[in-house]
A and B are shown apart, each in its own frame.
Chain A
Amino acid sequence: MKSFTFALRTTGLAAGLALLSVSGGAAETDALPTFDTNYITFSAGGADINGSKAAYQARTASAKTGAAGIEDMRFDYDLKDKTTLAVTGRALAGQEDYQLNFKLAKEDVGTFEVGYKTFRTFYDGAGGFFPIGNVWLPLFSRPLYVDRGQLSVHGTIALPKAPVISFSYTHSTRDGRKDSTILGDTNLTGIPIYAGPGSVNPVSATRKLLPTYLDLDEKNDAWEIGLRHTMANTSVVLSVGGNAIENVNVREMQQNIGELAVFPALVFTSPTVNNVRAGSPRRTTMTQRHEEDGYHASATFETVLSDKVTVFGGLLYHTADVEIAGSRLLTATLASATGINNYPGGFVNTGATARAPYHLVSKGDLEYSALTGNLGARFSPSPDLAIETALRGERWEDSGKNLVNYSSQGVTLATGAVTNYAATGLHAVDNVEKPWTPTVDVRYTGIKSVALYASWEYRTTKQNELVRYQGLNGATKATELDMIGKNIDEKHSNATVGMSWKVSPVMSLRAELFTKDHENEFAGYDDVLGRDYALNYDIYGTKLTAVVKPTHALSSTTRYVLQKSKSKVFHSGLTTVGVINGTVDGSDSSRHSISESITWSVSKALYIQANGTMVFDQLQTMYPWVSGNAKRNLRNSDNNYVTADGIVGFTIDKLTTGTIQGSYYRASNFDAEYAAVAMPLGASAKESTISVGVKRKLSEKTLLSAKVGYFDSENGTRGGYADFSGPLAYVSVQHAF
């Protein structure tokens, strides 16, 4: 074995020396062709997936069916009179990734471009897993994807020595179904419930696990006409435009599916452990419609007064009318003395304090306008010093109302009697906000091999927000009116100081310190006048980067980013039981991110790149200072992870190039025992991929690429139900004409 190891080392050493000896040198006689125009690339790829195909699609952005078609194409045509036409496109069936674009350009006249593109994003369905009982409740095996599309038309008229006129129109759509993190209730967790009368459950079986689905139907039409011109030392840009948004989004939420509370209810004798609990199925469809017609106009200028002074400024006005409508249609299935029935807005009418569910339809309108202006100057008192200072002001105003009709049915289980409740409420808002933001930027390069910079901005806002809320009273099931007036003062200061230092020919260092000091004061907070709330938080940190290039062929970049944040929350005027007025620690968070990238061109024929990032991230809020049940039910939020990837590129022969790629991801913020007392669970996953690819020149006009690989993904947060693994393969042929 020793002799074999010796032979292996010797072979490796000899091979390494051979590699180095052939590096550098002559012209690239064997370079593979690259095609700039008049080419088409056909490709096909797919995977043989073991495990969750939905998770595979979501994680890899690849269709489980595989994809095939035209991956890329471009054709250029020279037409008459210095006119060219460029056609680009893509059509990958299976992936539902399509694009076709035509661009016509005439020298000294302008361009006209029209195109359409769409691509699909996959989702795997959120929620459904509870570790204690190894419960998996995906509810439905629905295809979850959203297609994003855009039709665009752009044009410019750029005649010599004349203003450049541009126009554009886009029609953007988002259509499909995706998952939501608004998870629904279930008691099917496998946790025994101590449900005796008068008892306090040591654990609650109810968890929000059931997936919710969101159907998207969004359209956005936007147009703009612009004019850009330079006269003497002044350049101006004028534009007008508008947009029309039409969004209808529907959430389908399920609660306690398959958990009908029987009638008559089971009788417990304390202490009794029982797996049945009063939770009955509810299905809710929540629809939000938002239709907006908006217009904007802007004008900006920049004037070079001298080599040392430039002034700039602009105005932007934006206004829009919005029609809003919505509904929350809830159907409860209840068992009563008259049997099992469905009740719109149904709830168990156990008495005057029973809280009626929000079963509602609404319709209203909003309008908003924003006038924004800025004015600034750039100074260069010396070649080494540049100063830019500016002031931004804005007046934002929005107002609107929404009429809501509530209805629900209270069911008395003992008799089956139904009481119908109906109420109407009018919500309204009137909001004015006036932020001012001065800014200063300074750069200095007067020290040899050093560049220094600093920036500061200070945003102050006076805001007055009046809100009318006419919601349901739990006891009377009728609407009650709250008028909420808030005066909001904001003082946000952000500052950055940094430097770039070329220490030596082989080393560069960059450092930046940043800080944010944000103070927000709300007078009249919440639904009672006289309540005050203040949120003050500070964020500070640093970014440190070191670039080392010991040789022309080897470089290393190391980057460390630290961000820490603390917040203080102040309340006064609260009347709830307990000592809850005063100042408390809101949060104390820290994030350390360490990244490394090494690139080594071992020889002309071989390169290696390795990248990695390690992140330690913790968000801490009330956990350190609450007690009893509160402390039991809360944890700090850990969001740590590690990623790594690498690539080796090499030549195989005169006609062939190879690559080997790999990646790794690990997150371990999962504590299954924590599920006994709280949800949700932190992210836990382990993934790795490896692939080997080749690219071969079949002829001067044809390239063949092929890749095979293997992936493996384990998702602990989903209890293994979203794991997947398998081989993948990809092949493409690129041909130029």
Chain B
Amino acid sequence: MKLKLRLSRTTLIFGGTAVWGLFLLGCVTANRTMLVVPHVPGATLVGDKACKECHAEQVDKFANASHAKLAFADPKLGTTGCEACHGAGSLHVKAGGTTHTIVNPRKSPEACFECHLEKRGQFSLPYAHSVSNGNVSCSDCHDPHKGNALMGTGASLRTQTEGCAECHTTQKGPFIFKHNAMKEGCVACHNPHGSVNQKMLKAPDSNLCLQCHATGSAPGMLFASGRDHAGNPVQGTCWVSGCHEAVHGSNTSHALRF
């Protein structure tokens, strides 16, 4: 079956009129509030104290969380408390904590996208963690309730790379021959929120490696780590077959091959 859509002037005029008519019909026949997610229709703000009744651990720790940095002294100016991300909580409180009366960002990233607009775009790219499809959640890598939302940074007991290694156990090593770029974190080469390039790479080509491995140049030559590689970009990236395939580390080659 082949279906080809055509956007002609006639399509726009009649289609647009039909849609507008549909909107009009809905307005005059139904009494129901339509709200874009993650907002809760009919709910009003109740404040963090009400949330603490049941969620004391999250509320108590939140004062030290990254997101609390944006909070004003006067909460009337606008909350960056619980309801900023979970939606107005009055119906949730009234219902005794039912799940459909509150926004759960773990189940949908829409709440996070309200402020982190660029992440919405990144997660819609061809190569991204499966957040938009619900298989991965923002909170799998970020803890919004306490400490630094970038888990593993600062004085945390664990490191940022350990978070990635929970799923990517092969890449974490250790290896006999290390790639010290790993110490800068996986984000040195990958953009975990999404990329136009395969494997969520920040760049699809040799430039990714040359950032750190540029050595120098004689006329016509391109030195990386002491050897002329001028002919190599012709064939492909630095990690193609026969070259430095084991980019995360190797147990058999100090030139990072398998």
Q: Which of A218, A448, A580, A582 touches B169 (beta carbons < 8 Å)?
A: A218
Bound Cα distance from A290 to B250, whole angstroms: 12
A584 touches B214 (CB 8 A): yes
B17 touches A181 (CB 8 A): no
Of all chain B residues, the one with the shortest Cβ separation from A316 is B157
What is the 8 Å Cβ interface bit string for chain A, positions 171-190, against chain B (1 contact, 0 not)? 01010000101111100000
A362 interface residue, CB < 8 Å from B? Answer: yes
B8 interface residue, CB < 8 Å from A? Answer: no
Size of interface on B: residues with Cβ below 8 Å to A: 125
Interface residues of B in 171-217 (CB under 8 A from A): 174-178, 180, 183-184, 195-199, 201-208, 210-217
Bound Cα distance from A372 to B155, whole angstroms: 10
Chain B's interface: helix, strand, loop or mixed, by majority? loop
A653 touches B72 (CB 8 A): no
Of all chain B residues, the one with the shortest Cβ separation from A179 is B198
B170 touches A587 (CB 8 A): no
Given contacts A19-B27, A633-B231, A651-B32, contact A328 B258 (CB under 8 A): yes
B125 touches A358 (CB 8 A): no
B157 touches A678 (CB 8 A): no
Interface size class of A (residues with CB under 8 A): 35 or more
Bound Cα distance from A653 to B70, whole angstroms: 41
What is the 8 Å Cβ interface bit string for chain B, positions 50-80, against chain A (1 contact, 0 not)? 0000000000000110001111111001101
Interface centre among B20, B21, B176, B227 (most CB of A within 10 A): B176
Of all chain B residues, the one with the shortest Cβ separation from A388 is B64
Taking A209-B236, A253-B241 as given, write out 10 further A-B residue pairs in contact, using a Cβ cutoff of 8 Å, ordered by the A residue number. A31-B33, A61-B130, A61-B133, A183-B240, A372-B158, A502-B77, A526-B226, A569-B215, A579-B216, A679-B235
A641 touches B27 (CB 8 A): no
Chain B residues within an 8 Å CB radius of A652: 22, 25-26, 30
A119 touches B135 (CB 8 A): yes
A571 interface residue, CB < 8 Å from B? Answer: yes
A322 touches B115 (CB 8 A): no
Given contacts A437-B155, A637-B207, A650-B26, contact A245 B169 (CB under 8 A): yes
Of all chain B residues, the one with the shortest Cβ separation from A286 is B258
Q: Which of B69, B99, B216 touches A498 (beta carbons < 8 Å)?
A: B69
Interface residues of A in 531-553 (CB under 8 A from B): 531, 535, 537, 545
What are 20 A-B contacts with C-beta separation under 8 Å? A19-B23, A119-B135, A184-B241, A326-B251, A386-B63, A402-B176, A445-B71, A445-B73, A457-B153, A500-B80, A535-B212, A576-B228, A597-B114, A605-B27, A612-B121, A639-B196, A639-B204, A641-B121, A651-B30, A653-B26
A368 touches B174 (CB 8 A): yes
Q: Which of B71, B210, B235 touches A621 (beta carbons < 8 Å)?
A: B210
Bound Cα distance from A469 to B250, whole angstroms: 11
Interface residues of B in 1-55 (CB under 8 A from A): 1-3, 5, 13, 17, 19-36, 41-42
Chain A residues within an 8 Å CB radius of B225: 526
B245 touches A182 (CB 8 A): yes
Whole-angstrom distance between the Cβ of B117 and the nearest chain A Cβ? 3
Whole-angstrom distance between the Cβ of A731 and the nearest chain B Cβ? 18
A182 touches B241 (CB 8 A): yes
Given contacts A328-B252, A446-B73, contact A630 B222 (CB under 8 A): yes
Q: Which of A28, A220, A245 touches B32 (beta carbons < 8 Å)?
A: A28
Of all chain B residues, the one with the shortest Cβ separation from A712 is B5
Whole-angstrom distance between the Cβ of B225 and the nearest chain A Cβ? 6
B251 touches A685 (CB 8 A): no
Interface centre among B17, B197, B216, B219 (most CB of A within 10 A): B216
A64 interface residue, CB < 8 Å from B? Answer: no
**Chain B interface: which of A8-16, A103-111, A260-268?**
A8-16
B154 touches A182 (CB 8 A): no
Of all chain A residues, the one with the shortest Cβ separation from B78 is A502
B241 touches A185 (CB 8 A): yes
**Chain B interface: which of A32-40, A331-339, A414-422, A698-706?**
A32-40
